[in-house]
Structure formats: structure tokens, C-alpha cells
């Protein structure tokens, strides 16, 4: 934790009394990052409007190191950095409550990680967001705590065997299968993107998306491989349309 000695080396210092509800941690030598539980989908606005912080040159001039890859270089920016740090610490219960309370906020919370996954692996963020909502029931039932995509196999945190339904020979059957476990939601989103580099049917979809940037065509190309349900693609597209996810992700991607 960063203490008052670290902060008061700067002129003028950020008053700890004014930000007692905030958490501090190191971002680079002689620099700091501020995290808050309030409105982390737009943390810069929250901080800029906090007396003693927004007008402080130390806050305005924050830069980040490369400890989180592309984000460290400022490609996505400070707001997304903070939002991703929140996502890494978010509990399954918290995301579940967000999904029940505000569907748009559910997507905004996951958006920065989905955009990073698109930049890394070429998977449209709009599809990632819709899949997270559909596969987890708006985070009501993430497998193993953080698997919001129904990804099978083994993840960074291991595997868990659970009951699931598959559509086989024209009907749904119930089976038990192994699903990937993750350490947090950010990891789940990034590993979801990585999955599309591993299977040839997915790679074709990614390559086509790189050419036409057609989010709906992407899910049409990979939907039948990703899930056995005959209505899976239509459900994903319905979510994309209902919540305007293509425009949401485009506007954030090119911000």
C-alpha cells in the first residue's frame, strides 16, 4: 500500500483525508494509481470531480508501466485501466448483482476487458459481451465462480465437473463435463479471446472478421462450433441488437 510519505513527495500532495474511501497501489516508481468502488465504468470523471484530486497535477500526469501489457502503454487509457483493475477484484456475487440490477452496466463493466481481448485476438468485443450474458445468465451462474462463457476443459485455476445440457440428435440431453476455472473475470475474458486462436473453425471466423469487421457475420461463422444449441447464434445476435453492443464496443475501441 502507498503511504502518506510516498504521496507527500509531490507538490501539491493528494490529501488522504479527501480520499479516505479510495485505495492506492503502486503503478511505477514514484507514481501511483487510484482505485475506487464508485462508478468505475467512468472513474476519471469521478476523480476529476473530487476536490483536491481533479485539479492536482499529480493525478493529471499519471502514467503507467507495462505490468499489464498493452494497457501499460496507454493504448486504452486510464479509465479502462482502473475498470480492469476493478474487474480483477470483482466477486461473482458483485457481478451477479450488477447483472440483475442494470444490464447496460453489466456490459460496461466487462467492456474494457472485451476490447483488450479484441485487440489481442481479433474477437469482436460485442460478441464477447453477448456471450458472457447468455452463457452465465447475466452472471447468475458462472461456472466455478468466474467462467461466464461456458468454456470446457482446463483453465489457469484448474477444472470443475458440472452438469450441463447439450443438443444431440435433435434433442437436449443432460451430461456431466469438465469446465475451465479462472481466477477472476478479467482472466476469463482474456482466455475466452485466446480460445479463438486455437481451433481452425474459430481462426477462419477471426480472419474473416479482420477483413470485413462484421460482428454479426462473425457469430454466424463460429456459433455452431461454439455451442450445440440450434438457436445459439440467433440468441447472441438478439442480445447484440437489443443492447446496441456493436456501437458500444466500436465507440470505446476507437476512443
Query: Which of 49, 73, 88 is a domain's end point?
Result: 88
Question: Which segments within 14-156 are labelled E, that is strand?
Answer: 23-26, 32-35
Structural domain contains residue 167: no
Structural domain contains residue 186: yes
Q: What is the pLDDT of residues 135-164, one digit of tens each?
A: 999 999 888 889 999 998 999 999 988 887
| Paired residues of 33 in beta bridges | 25
Domain count for the chain: 2
Query: Which of 60, 88, 116 is a domain's end point?
Result: 88
**Whole-number percent of the chain with pLDDT over 90:** 48
Position 174 confidence tier, pLDDT thresholds 50, 70, 90: confident
Asked whether residue 245 falls in the same domain as residue 137, the answer is yes
Rounded CA-CA distance 121/195 in Å is 9
Asked whether residue 135 falls in the same domain as residue 234, the answer is yes
Task: Determine the structural domain holding residue 213 and report its residue range.
Answer: 92-151+182-253
Preceding omega of 12 cis (within 30 degrees of 0) = yes
Asked whether residue 147 falls in the same domain as residue 218, the answer is yes
| pLDDT score recorded for residue 255 | 53
Q: Which of 75, 73, 66, 82 is nearest to 33 (CA)?
A: 82
pTM over 0.75: no
Asked whether residue 42 falls in the same domain as residue 129, the answer is no
Assign residue 249 the CATH number of its domain. 1.10.530.10
| Paired residues of 152 in beta bridges | 179
Phi, psi of 178, deg, nearest 5: -90, 130
| Paired residues of 32 in beta bridges | 26
Rounded CA-CA distance 44/38 in Å is 11
Amino acid at each position: 500500500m502507498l503511504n502518506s510519505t510516498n504521496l507527500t513527495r509531490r507538490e501539491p500532495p493528494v490529501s488522504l483525508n479527501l480520499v479516505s474511501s479510495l485505495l492506492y497501489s503502486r503503478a511505477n516508481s514514484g507514481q501511483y494509481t487510484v482505485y475506487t468502488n464508485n462508478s468505475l465504468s467512468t472513474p476519471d470523471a469521478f476523480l476529476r470531480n473530487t476536490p483536491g484530486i481533479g485539479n492536482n497535477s499529480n493525478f493529471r500526469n499519471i502514467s503507467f508501466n507495462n505490468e499489464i501489457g498493452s494497457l501499460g502503454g496507454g493504448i486504452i487509457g486510464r479509465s479502462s485501466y482502473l475498470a480492469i483493475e476493478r474487474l480483477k477484484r470483482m466477486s461473482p456475487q458483485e457481478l451477479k448483482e450488477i447483472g440483475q440490477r442494470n444490464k447496460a452496466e453489466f456490459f460496461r463493466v466487462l467492456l474494457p476487458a472485451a476490447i483488450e481481448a479484441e485487440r489481442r485476438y481479433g474477437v469482436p468485443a460485442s460478441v464477447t459481451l453477448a456471450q458472457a450474458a447468455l452463457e452465465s445468465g447475466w452472471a447468475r451462474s458462472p461456472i466455478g465462480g468466474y467462467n461466464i462463457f461456458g468454456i470446457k476443459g482446463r483453465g489457469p485455476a484448474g477444472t470443475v465437473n458440472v452438469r450441463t445440457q447439450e443438443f444431440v440428435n435433435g434433442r437436449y440431453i443432460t451430461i456431466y463435463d469438465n469446465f475451465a476455472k479462472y481466477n477472476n473475470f478479467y482472466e476469463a475474458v482474456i482466455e475466452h479471446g485466446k480460445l479463438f486462436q486455437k481451433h481452425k473453425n474459430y481462426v477462419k471466423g477471426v480472419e474473416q472478421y479482420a477483413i470485413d469487421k462484421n460482428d454479426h457475420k462473425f457469430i454466424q461463422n463460429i456459433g455452431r462450433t461454439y455451442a450445440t444449441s440450434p438457436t445459439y447464434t440467433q440468441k447472441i445476435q438478439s442480445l447484440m441488437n437489443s443492447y446496441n453492443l456493436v456501437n458500444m464496443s466500436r465507440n470505446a475501441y476507437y476512443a
